Amino acid sequence: MSDGLLFSIERRSLSSHCEIRPEMPTPLPTTTSTPPVTVALPTYNGARHLADALRGILAQEGVPFDLLVCDDRSDDETVSLVRSLAGDRARIEINPERLGLAGNWNRCAALARTPLLAIVHQDDILLPGHLAAHVDAFARLPGLGMAISAVEVIDAADRPIPPTVIERPDLGPAERLFPPPAFVAELAHRNPVRCSAVTLRAEALASIGGFDPSYRYAVDWECWLRLARRWPVCWLPLPSVAVRWHPDSETHRFKRGSADLDELALLLDQIHTLDRPSLPHPSRSRRLAHRLLGRAFLNRSLDALHAGDAPLALRCLRRSLSLSPALLLLLARDPRLAAQMTALSLAPRWASRRFRHPDQPGQADSVPTSGPA
DSSP string spanning 222-249? HHHHHHHHHS-EEEEEEEEEEEE--TTS
**Which of the four pLDDT bands, split at 50, 70 and 90, describes residue 11?**
very low
Beta bridge partners of 241: 126, 151
Q: Give me Rg for the CA atoms of the chain.
A: 21
Say how far apart CA 151 and CA 193 lie, in whole Å. Answer: 9
pLDDT of residue 32: 61
Select the highest-mean-pLDDT range: 31-40, 112-121, 347-356: 112-121
Instruction: Tell me the C-alpha to C-alpha distance, in Å, between residue 340 and each of 198, 313, 315, 355.
Output: 41, 11, 15, 7
pLDDT of residue 256: 76
Residue 70, classified by CB atoms within 10 Å of its CB into exposed (0-12), middle (13-18) or buried (19+), is buried
Helix (H, G, I), strand (E, B) or coil at 270: helix
Tens-digit pLDDT profile for residues 155-210: 999 999 998 888 888 899 999 999 999 999 999 999 999 999 999 999 999 999 99
pLDDT of residue 18: 39
158: left (phi over 0), alpha (psi -120 to 50) or beta: left
Whether residue 232 contacts residue 180, with contact meaning beta carbons closer than 8 Å, is answered with yes
Least confident of 77-91, 236-250, 270-284: 236-250
Query: Where are any strands of DSSP class E within 90-232?
Result: 90-94, 116-119, 125-126, 146-154, 176-178, 198-201
pLDDT of residue 20: 35
pLDDT of residue 164: 87
Terminal Cα distance for the chain, rounded: 26
**Which of the four pLDDT bands, split at 50, 70 and 90, describes residue 363?**
very low
pLDDT of residue 176: 98
Whether residue 367 contacts residue 330, with contact meaning beta carbons closer than 8 Å, is answered with yes
Q: In the predicted model, what is the mean pLDDT of residues 310-331? A: 96
Instruction: Tell me the C-alpha to C-alpha distance, in Å, between residue 161 and each of 3, 4, 124, 241, 353.
Output: 16, 14, 14, 14, 33
Has residue 306 got a pLDDT over 60?
yes
Has residue 148 got a pLDDT over 50?
yes
Helix (H, G, I), strand (E, B) or coil at 364: coil
DSSP 297: H
Whether residue 304 contacts residue 312, with contact meaning beta carbons closer than 8 Å, is answered with yes
DSSP assignment of 130-144? HHHHHHHHHHH-TT-
Has residue 365 got a pLDDT over 60?
no
**Which of the four pLDDT bands, split at 50, 70 and 90, describes residue 279?**
very high
Domain ranges of the chain: 2-244, 259-354
User: Judging by DSSP bridges, how do beta strands 90-94 and 65-71 pair with one another?
Assistant: parallel
pLDDT of residue 111: 98
Cα angle: 295, vertex 339, 359; to 5 degrees: 75
pLDDT of residue 366: 52
CATH top class, domain 2-244: alpha beta
pLDDT of residue 360: 45
Say which residue, 217 or 9, is predicted with more confidence.
217
Least confident of 25-29, 108-112, 183-187: 25-29
In this structure, which long-range contacts are made by residues 11-17, counting pairs with CB atoms below 8 Å and at least 24 apart in sequence? 11/172, 12/185, 12/280, 14/176, 14/178, 14/179, 14/182, 14/185, 15/179, 15/182, 16/176, 16/177, 17/177, 17/179
Least confident of 4-18, 331-345, 354-368: 4-18
Whether residue 237 contacts residue 174, with contact meaning beta carbons closer than 8 Å, is answered with yes
pLDDT of residue 33: 67
Tens-digit pLDDT profile for residues 221-275: 999 999 999 999 999 999 999 999 876 554 454 567 999 999 999 999 999 999 9
pLDDT of residue 345: 94
Has residue 332 got a pLDDT over 70?
yes
DSSP 160: B
What percentage of the chain reaches a pLDDT higher than 90?
Answer: 81
pLDDT of residue 319: 98
If one counts every other C-beta atom within 10 angstroms of the C-beta of residue 370, the result is 12
Say how far apart CA 308 and CA 312 lie, in whole Å. Answer: 9
Say how far apart CA 269 and CA 267 lie, in whole Å. Answer: 5
The residues, ordered by sequence, that sit 6+ positions from 144 with a Cβ below 8 Å of its Cβ are 18, 137, 138, 201, 231, 232, 233, 234
Helices and strands in the chain, H and E counts: 12, 9
Least confident of 26-40, 215-229, 275-289: 26-40
pLDDT of residue 19: 38
Average pLDDT, the chain: 89
Q: In the predicted model, what is the mean pLDDT of residues 324-351? A: 94
Q: What pTM was computed for the model?
A: 0.86
pLDDT of residue 359: 58
Say how far apart CA 359 and CA 343 lie, in whole Å. Answer: 21
Tens-digit pLDDT profile for residues 118-144: 999 999 999 999 999 999 999 999 999
Say how far apart CA 41 and CA 126 lie, in whole Å. Answer: 12
